[in-house]
């Protein structure tokens, strides 16, 4: 084994990882939604494999709009959790989701990352992973990469595409974001995306670096199939951020149709975010007595929380489907539950459905079709169970943290293997 690497035997063969790894990501544990759980699992997997692992991140705030209690005074800015050294920095969480607020949040945070490099708080590494969002994390991570090292940019959201699709920012701002994305990603040694559709978009954007598709991964030991709670009504569950790109308005309309198809079913919305009060007001205005709101389940109870859903929901706004792949889809499959999603033909979720056969797709903005798909699954327990088994099998073959660790480690090591 080379001097700069440690190895961990997973299945066979063993996985070789870099001796030191730096992750640059604005979201991390204890944030329960978005890309934070996946990045946390990846960092802890590297640490467990023997890599000296450091994370640069913000004080936790997502999916809410304030920094979490216990982190505001900076007392948790330098900690080590599960072998991962976490370096946190102050931030200004965006309120309302507008472009200007996001730029203030992301710009000030990444300026502090660079300040930490200048002061020697965190040094350069030969193995660096960055996560977009934000594209600024990708640009900054290049500065933390030592000569002869490798920087791998992980793209969860193509920010220019999402901003354009969701009507955030004017033409000049979007043009600037596209130029920043193209420049930053072309300075990385390789790029990882979550789906083939995202790879195609990056090529159209002008990204010429090698692009590898690695689907979202999940800690399949912690998230596993569990029995549904006794005595609860048939439950349709959405769990995640309450944000514009999720298209949650169509879920409320779906709930209205579901009342007549399955009057005994409840629609449980677990989460928080910028449009939470708006959603609650809309549900009240529509008289949706079958809709309940609840906070996200804590990480240590994630598997139990997912087991509450007989059928899960993965809504998306169609305009942004090519620019992001919802990680919650893989987490639901790991829990052995089927879901109903909204997507267009050829999108990442449509391709995953054809491959895994573990969930149903419906056209976006057709809440009646979504309600009919949900009711069909609620009415057929054997079909739900069969789809759940197929989903779990797909995760174990393609999307466990062990599989992801092996693929990311191969990219980070010298002469890392890439797909084009």
| CATH code for the domain in which residue 316 is found | 3.40.50.2000
371 within a domain of the structure (yes/no): yes
Q: Per the structure, how many domains does the chain have?
A: 2
Same domain, 294 and 325: yes
Domain that holds residue 365: 235-398
In DSSP terms, 127 is beta-bridged to: 150
**132 bridge partner residues:** 155
Residue 169 has pLDDT above 60, yes or no: no
Cα(241)–Cα(93) distance, integer angstroms: 14
Banded pLDDT at 404 (limits 50, 70, 90): very high
121 shares its domain with 190: yes
**The Cα angle at residue 393 between residues 413 and 216, in degrees rounded to 5:** 45
Q: Greater confidence, 3 or 61?
A: 61
Token pair recorded at residue 133: 């969002």
Tens-place pLDDT, residues 2-27: 334 443 434 445 689 999 999 999 99
- pLDDT number for residue 315: 93
pLDDT of residue 1: 32
- CA dist 156 to 70, 84, 159, 185, 268, Å? 28, 22, 9, 13, 26
Q: For residue 331, is it within any domain?
A: yes
Could you tell me if 84 and 207 lie in one domain? yes
**Rounded to whole angstroms, how far apart are CA atoms 397 and 384?**
20
Q: Is residue 417 assigned to a domain?
A: no
* C-alpha distances in Å from residue 308, one per residue of 230, 231, 290, 411: 10, 11, 15, 38
Q: How far apart are CA 354 and CA 244, in angstroms?
A: 27
Asked if the structure places residue 348 within a domain, the reply is yes
- 76 C-beta neighbours (distance < 10 Å), count: 16
CB 49 within 8 A of CB 16: no
The average confidence (pLDDT) of the chain is 89
Residues 184 and 274 occupy one common structural domain: no
Give the residue-averaged pLDDT of 61-73.
91
Q: Do 99 and 123 belong together in one domain?
A: yes
Q: Is 11 exposed, middle or buried (0-12, 13-18, 19+ CB in 10 A)?
A: exposed
Contact criterion met (CB below 8 Å) for 392 and 357: no
Q: Report the distance separating Cα 414 and Cα 351, nearest Å.
A: 32
At residue 273, does pLDDT exceed 90? no
Higher pLDDT, residue 177 or 286: 286
Query: How confident is residue 247, by pLDDT bands cut at 50, 70 and 90?
Result: confident
Does residue 230 sit within a domain?
no
**pTM of the complete model:** 0.81
Confidence of residue 316 (pLDDT cuts 50, 70, 90): confident
Do the Cβ atoms of 58 and 234 come closer than 8 Å?
no
Model pLDDT for residues 133-159, shown as the tens digit of each residue = 889 999 999 999 999 999 999 998 886
β-strand partners of 22 = 54, 128
Residues 272 and 197 reside in one and the same domain: no
The reply to whether 228 falls in a domain is no
224 lies in some domain: no
Residue 351 to residue 194: CA distance in whole angstroms: 12
Return all residues near 301 (Cβ < 8 A) that are at least 6 apart: none
Asked if residue 290 and residue 326 are part of one domain, the reply reads yes
Q: Which residues pair with 130 in a beta bridge?
A: 24, 153
* Residue 115 and residue 18 share a domain: yes
Question: Are 254 and 183 found together in one domain?
Answer: no
Distances (CA, A) of 357 to 216, 298, 352: 17, 29, 8
Q: Is the residue at 247 inside a domain? A: yes
Q: Are residues 28 and 118 in the same domain?
A: yes
- 420 — pLDDT class (breaks 50, 70, 90): very low
- Distance CA(244)–CA(368), nearest Å, equals 20
Dist. CA 303–CA 297, nearest whole Å: 9
Q: Are residues 211 and 249 in the same domain?
A: no
pLDDT at 113 over 80: yes
Residues near 188 by Cβ (< 8 Å), separated by ≥ 6? 130, 138, 141, 142, 151, 152, 153, 209
| pLDDT for 320 | 61
Sequence-separated (6 or more) residues with CB below 8 Å from residue 17: 5, 6, 7, 8, 46, 49, 50, 51, 405, 409, 412, 413
101 and 17 within one domain: yes
């Amino acid at each position: 084994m080379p001097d700069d690497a440690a190895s961990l035997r997973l299945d066979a063969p063993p996985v070789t990882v870099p001796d030191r790894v730096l992750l640059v990501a604005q979201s991390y544990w204890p944030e329960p939604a978005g890309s934070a759980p996946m990045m946390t699992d990846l960092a802890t997997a590297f640490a467990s494999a023997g890599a000296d692992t450091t994370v640069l991140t913000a004080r936790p705030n997502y999916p809410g709009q304030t920094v979490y209690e216990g982190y505001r005074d900076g007392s948790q800015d330098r900690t080590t959790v599960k072998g991962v050294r976490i370096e946190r920095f102050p931030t200004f969480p965006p309120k309302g989701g507008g472009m200007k607020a996001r730029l203030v949040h992301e710009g000030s945070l990444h300026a502090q990352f660079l300040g930490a490099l200048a002061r020697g708080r965190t040094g350069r590494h030969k193995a660096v992973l960055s996560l977009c969002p934000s594209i600024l994390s990708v640009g900054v991570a290049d500065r933390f990469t030592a000569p002869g090292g490798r920087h791998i940019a992980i793209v969860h959201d193509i920010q220019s595409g999402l901003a354009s699709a969701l009507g955030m920012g004017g033409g000049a701002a979007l043009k600037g974001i596209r130029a920043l994305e193209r420049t930053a990603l072309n300075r990385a040694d390789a790029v990882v995306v979550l789906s083939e559709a995202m790879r195609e978009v990056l090529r159209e954007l002008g990204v010429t670096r090698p692009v590898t598709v690695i689907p979202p991964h999940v800690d399949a030991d912690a998230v596993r199939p569990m029995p549904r709670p006794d005595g609860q009504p048939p439950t349709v569950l959405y769990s995640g951020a309450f944000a514009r790109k999720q298209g949650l308005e169509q879920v409320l309309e779906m709930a209205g149709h579901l009342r007549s198809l399955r009057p005994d079913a409840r629609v449980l919305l677990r989460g928080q975010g910028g449009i939470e009060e708006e959603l609650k007001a809309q549900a009240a205005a529509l008289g949706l007595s079958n809709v309940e709101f609840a906070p996200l389940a804590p990480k240590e109870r994630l598997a139990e929380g997912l087991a509450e859903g007989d059928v899960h929901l993965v809504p998306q706004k169609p305009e942004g489907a090519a620019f992001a792949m919802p990680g919650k889809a893989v987490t639901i499959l790991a829990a052995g539950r089927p879901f109903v999603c909204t997507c267009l033909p050829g999108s990442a979720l449509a391709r995953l459905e054809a491959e895994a056969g573990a969930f149903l797709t419906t056209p976006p903005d057709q809440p009646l079709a979504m309600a009919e798909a949900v009711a069909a699954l609620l009415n057929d327990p054997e079909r739900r169970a069969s789809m759940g088994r197929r989903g779990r099998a797909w995760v174990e073959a393609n999307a466990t943290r062990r599989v992801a660790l092996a693929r990311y480690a191969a990219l980070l090591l010298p002469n890392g293997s890439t797909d084009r």
